[in-house]
Amino acid sequence: MKDSDPAIVAIERAMVAIRRSQTRRALGKFAARAGGAAVDPTIFGVLDAVETRDGEATVTDIAGALGVDQPRASRLVARAVGEGLLERRADQLDARRIHLHLTAAARSALDRAHANRQAVFAAATADWKAGDRTEFARLLTRFVSDFGAVSARDPE
């Protein structure tokens, strides 16, 4: 794409660099600095999906949040349950429906991960003006929202 908008090219390159920096090894280093064991990034995604829904989700919610099929989501949930990070509870109105809840261990792991990542982001932007950090946060949040909307559209 010779005639690509230079800003779009820069965004694409930056997003690739961000993805590369989020390797298991890098995430493991972050966790070690925070004094805790690293949660497998795949399982972290499951926990994050539950946390985003105020600590309660279904396997269908997890599948949608991660962009995977139901069987894959079920396997990931089973792993998280097996590792003591999620617990299953029957719906009080419909016993066939199961809700997933974060355990205390999951909340602790998520809190450590969030605090550690925020510390890394704070260090990376330490020399920025407060207004620049605020504007970056606003634009990045908008980008993620708009990207999600574009990604959710059916291919034409």
Residue spans per domain, the chain: 6-124
Higher pLDDT, 91 or 27: 91
Domain 6-124 fold: Arc Repressor Mutant, subunit A (1.10.10)
**What are the pLDDT digits (tens) for 39-97?**
777 888 899 999 999 878 999 999 999 989 999 999 999 999 999 999 999 878 877 78
3-state DSSP of 81-145: HHCCCEEEEECCCCCCCEEEEECHHHHHHHHHHHHHHHHHHHHHCCCCCHHHHHHHHHHHHHHHH
pTM: 0.76
